[in-house]
C-alpha cells in the first residue's frame, strides 16, 4: 500500500528544521519520502526505475503533516470510570470509587474499554500510548485489533499481577505483533513491598532493561516513603538499583535536588501529567527544572478517571501554562519544547525510536492538522497555534503504521462506534448491578 500526501506543510520535528511545503510518501508501514517540492523531482532523478504508482494520493490543501502525538502515560480502560467519581479527595476517590469497580472488570471488559479510549486517541492525533492496566493480554489484543500502537508497562503491586506475569509479558508481547511492545514496571512504591520491588530490580538486571513506575505523584506519598525508608521514592528505588538501565517516572511532582540528580545520572525520563495533577490537586511538577538539567520530559494524559479527557492538546497547554505559573515566568517552556515533549520525547521514553519524527525510513505514524479552522488562523506561527489554541477538532487524519485509522470524523478500528458504545454501556450496567 503506497500513499502520497502532497500540497502539504510538513513539520518533521527533526532538530532545528522549520515547517516547509512539500510531500510525504508512505509504503506499507514506512515513510519512503519526506521532503520539499523541489526534492520530489530530485527523488525521481535518483530513482528513475521507480516512477511510483500510488494506491491513494491525498491533496493536503496546505494543511500540516506532523508526527503523531505519543501519550506517554495512560490507563486506557479506565474509560468506564470517566465522570463516575469526581470532585473527591484523592484517597476517597481511589479507595471508595475506583478500586471496587476495578475489582469487577473482566479481561473482555478491558478489551472494549480500551478500544473506547482508542477512538478518542485517534481522533485527537495520538498514534502511540504508554499504557498501564490490569489485563495486559486483552489490552494488547484490543490495540492490535484496532491498529493502535501500544507500549505497555508492568503494573504489578501487592494486590494484583505478579513479577512472573511481568516477565511473561516482557517475553511474549515484545515482538508478538507490529503494534505491541512491553516495558518492565510496577504500579508504585507505595503499593509494593520492598521484597516485590527487589524482584523487579532483579528483572531489570536480568534483561538489562529500563523500568517505569508512578513516582512522587503526591506530597503524601513522598512523605510516607521518607517515613518508611528515610528516603524519597526516587532515592529509595534507586537504592534498590531499580534504574541501573534507565527508565522513568510518571508524575514526578514532588522531587528534590537529589532526586533530580538521580534522574539525570540514570538517564531517566519524566512523564508529566498536568491534567491529572490539576484535577486531583496533586501539585505542579517542576518541569522547567528538569529541562534545565537536561532531563527529558514526555507528556501523558493519565487515565480517563483522573483527567477526564484523553487529549494531548489540553496536556500541552497545561504543561506550559502550569510551568509558567510555577516559575512566575511567561517565557519558560515554550511551545516548541512542549511539542517535542508530546512527540519526540514520548517516542524515546517508550522505546519507539522509529516513530519520533517524519523522515525517510521512519515508521509512518503521521497526523494531519487542519489549518482551515478559525482557531488556527491567522497563520502567524503554526506550532504556537497547535499548543495554545489547538484541540482535537483540528485533527483531520491519523495514520498508524501506514494505515489511516481516522479521517474527517470517520474511524477505522475494525468495530463500529455504535457497537462499541453499546458494549461499553452493557459493561457499565452489569457492573452497577454487581456492586
* Residues forming the site for Zn ion (CB under 5 A): 302
CA dist 68 and 313 (Å) reads 12
Closest C-alpha among 66, 3, 148 to residue 368 = 66
Cβ count near 390 (within 10 Å) = 26
Residue nearer to Zn ion on the CB measure, 141 or 302: 302
From 163, 160, 157, 226, select the one nearest 200 (Cα to Cα). 163
Q: Between residues 254 and 423, which has the closer beta carbon with respect to Zn ion?
A: 254
Q: Which is nearer to Zn ion, 66 or 166 (CB)?
A: 166
Cα 360 off chain centre by = 23
DSSP state of 53: -
Q: Residue with the closest Cβ to Zn ion?
A: 302
Minimum distance of Zn ion from residue 158's CB (angstroms): 17
Smallest gap from residue 315 Cβ to Zn ion (A):
13
Q: How many CB atoms lie within 10 A of CB 1?
A: 13
Contacts of 181 (CB under 8 A, 6+ apart): 150, 151, 152, 173, 174, 175, 350, 351, 352
CB of 248 to Zn ion, least distance (A): 13
Our CB check for Zn ion shows the closer of 263 and 368 to be: 263
The distance of closest approach from Cβ of residue 210 to Zn ion in the complex, given in angstroms and rounded to an integer, is: 17
Identity of the residue, 22 or 210, whose beta carbon is nearer to Zn ion in the bound complex:
210
Q: How far is the CB of 272 from Zn ion (least distance, A)?
A: 12
C-beta closer to Zn ion: residue 78 or 397: 78
- Minimum CB separation of residue 104 from Zn ion in Å reads 20
Amino acid at each position: 500500500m503506497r500513499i502520497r500526501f502532497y500540497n502539504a506543510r510538513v513539520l518533521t520535528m527533526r532538530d532545528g528544521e522549520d515547517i516547509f511545503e512539500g510531500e510525504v510518501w508512505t509504503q506499507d508501514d514506512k515513510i519512503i519520502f519526506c521532503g520539499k517540492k523541489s526534492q520530489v523531482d530530485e527523488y525521481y532523478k535518483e530513482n528513475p526505475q521507480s516512477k511510483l504508482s500510488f494506491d491513494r494520493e491525498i491533496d493536503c490543501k496546505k494543511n500540516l503533516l506532523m508526527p503523531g502525538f505519543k501519550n506517554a502515560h495512560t490507563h486506557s480502560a479506565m474509560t468506564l470510570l470517566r465522570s463516575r467519581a469526581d470532585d473527591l479527595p484523592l484517597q476517597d476517590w481511589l479507595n471508595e470509587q475506583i478500586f471496587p469497580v476495578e475489582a469487577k472488570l473482566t479481561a473482555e471488559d478491558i478489551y472494549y474499554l480500551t478500544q473506547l479510549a482508542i477512538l478518542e486517541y485517534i481522533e485527537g492525533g495520538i498514534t502511540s500510548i504508554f499504557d498501564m492496566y490490569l489485563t495486559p493480554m486483552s489490552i494488547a489484543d484490543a490495540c492490535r485489533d484496532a491498529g493502535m500502537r501500544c507500549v505497555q508497562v508492568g503494573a504489578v503491586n501487592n494486590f494484583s499481577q505478579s513479577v512472573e506475569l511481568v516477565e511473561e509479558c516482557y517475553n511474549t508481547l515484545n515482538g508478538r505483533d507490529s503494534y505491541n511492545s512491553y516495558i518492565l514496571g510496577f504500579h508504585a512504591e507505595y503499593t509494593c513491598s520492598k521484597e516485590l520491588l527487589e524482584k523487579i530490580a532483579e528483572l531489570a538486571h536480568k534483561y538489562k532493561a529500563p523500568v517505569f513506575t508512578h513516582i512522587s505523584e503526591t506530597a503524601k506519598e513522598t512523605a510516607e516513603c521518607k517515613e518508611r525508608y528515610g528516603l524519597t521514592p526516587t532515592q529509595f528505588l534507586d537504592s534498590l538499583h531499580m534504574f541501573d538501565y534507565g527508565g522513568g517516572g510518571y508524575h514526578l511532582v514532588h522531587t528534590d535536588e537529589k532526586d533530580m540528580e538521580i534522574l539525570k545520572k540514570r538517564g531517566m525520563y519524566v512523564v508529566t501529567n498536568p491534567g491529572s495533577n490539576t484535577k486531583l490537586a496533586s501539585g505542579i511538577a517542576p518541569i522547567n527544572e528538569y529541562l534545565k538539567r537536561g532531563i527529558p520530559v514526555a507528556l501523558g494524559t493519565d487515565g480517563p478517571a483522573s483527567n477526564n479527557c484523553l487529549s494531548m492538546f489540553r496536556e500541552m497547554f497545561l504543561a506550559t501554562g502550569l510551568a509558567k505559573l510555577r516559575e512566575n515566568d511567561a517565557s519558560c517552556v515554550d511551545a516548541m519544547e512542549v511539542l517535542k515533549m508530546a512527540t519526540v520525547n514520548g517516542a524515546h521514553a517508550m522505546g519507539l525510536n522509529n516513530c519520533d519524527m517524519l523522515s525517510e525510513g521512519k515508521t509512518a505514524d503521521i497526523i494531519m492538522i487542519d489549518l482551515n479552522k478559525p482557531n488556527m488562523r491567522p497563520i502567524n506561527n503554526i506550532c504556537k497555534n497547535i499548543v495554545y489554541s489547538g484541540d482535537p477538532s483540528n485533527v483531520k487524519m491519523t495514520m498508524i503504521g501506514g494505515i489511516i485509522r481516522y479521517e474527517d470524523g470517520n474511524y477505522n478500528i475494525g468495530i463500529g462506534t455504535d457497537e462499541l458504545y453499546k458494549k461499553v454501556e452493557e459493561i457499565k450496567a452489569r457492573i452497577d448491578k454487581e456492586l
